[in-house]
Every structure is written in structure tokens, then in C-alpha cells.
Amino acid sequence: MILVGGFLVLPLVAMLDFSTRGPGGARTLDAWYAIGQDARLLQSVVISLQIAALTVLGVLLLLVPTMTWAYLRVPRMKRPIEFLCLLPIAIPAIVIVVGIAPVYSVLRRGVSGSPLMLVFVDIILVLPFAHRAIDAGLRSIDVATLAEAGRSLGAGWSRVMLQIIVPNIRGSLLSAAVIAVALVLGEFTISSLLSYPTLQVAINLLGKQNAFVSVAVSLASLVFAFLLIFALASVAPRAHRSVDEPEGAGAA
């Protein structure tokens, strides 16, 4: 644990040390103060957070009903769905850009040039990781029994999804959401090649102008991702019953 912790923490300490260097070896927070004074940087942060939120919403709305329906009605489709979701890992990002660039050029002419259009391609990039997280949650519960119990009590399919299935896989959904946010905040290749001003593109441009501010922003984004992980650990469901608890204790 010490070795792993050192491997993870030492680069962060080096980034903090570099971003607080001043003239003559003195310490200064000028680079950190400059983050709040750069309007373009703040705008890129807002854009990236908006894209992340929409990506999380889109991938959950796409995968949760689809995978639940596959578990309930068409189990033979689970493998094809998994194969399709894993394709973005096998296909390099540069190839995805080459294929999707003509689509985005049409969207820019016909709709607008909003960076929020990156949501569509980010959903594709997040699919492999979100699928694994959600699939683990669905495997841990008896989806068919829960759904049939809800239906026998008069619940519609929307109520079964929202009040029965989703609460039972909340931890998996939170994991998928955190992974999606971390991936969107760290994505550079596609947004750069499509010329959208996301956070990583802004950091890259800052690195050519002011390396201290660039490293400070990078460190801040990493800390934000860690805080998301800690938030996940605090709200994820926990087992309240001890393994040593007698069987009749819960009923009592």
C-alpha cells in the first residue's frame, strides 16, 4: 500500500511543487489565482462539466433499460450488446475521429457549433466502462424475480425500473457515472481534432503559454476526480447485516 500510495501521490506532490514555484525559489500561489482570472479557462471548465453531466445522463438512459430488457426478455442478446459496447476500446480514438468527423461537419452546418455536441461521441467512448459497471450490478441481483414481483403487485414497467431495479444497482450506476465523468474530463484527442474548447484542450494551450497555470489546472482536475471517487464511496450502498448475525435476528 505504501508503494502504491507513493506511486500515485508523488506525481501529485511534484505537480503541486512545480505550480507553486516563484522567482528566486520562493513559494507563490499566483498560478492558482490565475485560474480564476482566465475567462476562457473557466468557460472550458463549464463546458466540460456540462458535457460530463449530459454524457452520464445519456449513457445511463441508453444502457440501463437496454441491458435490463436483455436480462428479462432476450438473454441471447446480452453477448451482442456486450460486443458492441466493447468496440470503442478496440478502435483507436483517431480512427473514431476520422469516421465521425463528416457527421460533425454536417451537424455544425445544420444545427450549431456547440461543444455540447461532443456528448454523442463521449457516450460512445464511455460505453465499455459503463457497460461493465452496470452489468456487474445486474448480475448481483435477481432481475427477473424482482421485475415479476413488481409486475404482480400492479407496477408498470417504468415504475419497476425506477423504484425496483435502479435502487438495487445504485452502486453500479454511481461507478458508471464517476467513470464517465473522469473520462470526459480527461478526453483530449477527439475534442482537439474536432476543435472544441474543452478542459484538456485549454490545458494544452495553456501549457504553451504558461506552464505553471497549466500544471495547476491539471492538478485541480485530478483532485476533483479523486473527490468524486470519495463521494461515491460515501453514498454507495453498504450491507448493514453482519455475516455472523443469526438468521432470525433480521426478522426479530
Tell me the domains of the chain and their CATH numbers: 43-197 (1.10.3720.10)
Average pLDDT over residues 215-234: 81
**Statement: residue 67 has pLDDT above 90:** yes
Q: Find the DSSP H helices in the chain.
A: 2-19, 30-35, 39-72, 78-90, 93-110, 118-139, 143-152, 157-160, 166-168, 170-186, 189-193, 199-209, 211-235, 247-251
Check: pTM over 0.85? Answer yes or no: no
The number of angstroms, rounded, from the C-alpha of 162 to the middle of its chain's C-alpha atoms is: 21
CA 87, 89, 92, 97 torsion-angle sign:
positive
Name residue, grid cell 456486450.
82
The number of angstroms, rounded, from the C-alpha of 64 to the middle of its chain's C-alpha atoms is: 15
Q: Measured between alpha carbons, how far is 187 from 167 in angstroms, rounded to an integer?
A: 30
Average pLDDT over residues 5-21: 87
What confidence category does residue 202 fall into, taking pLDDT thresholds of 50, 70 and 90? confident
Task: Please give the span between the terminal C-alpha atoms of the chain, in angstroms, as a whole number.
Answer: 41
- Lookup: cell for 23: 522567482
pLDDT at 50: 92
pLDDT at 112: 62
**Statement: residue 113 has pLDDT above 80:** no
**Statement: residue 205 has pLDDT above 80:** yes
- Lookup: cell for 189: 484527442
Average pLDDT over residues 195-207: 86
- Lookup: cell for 163: 423504484
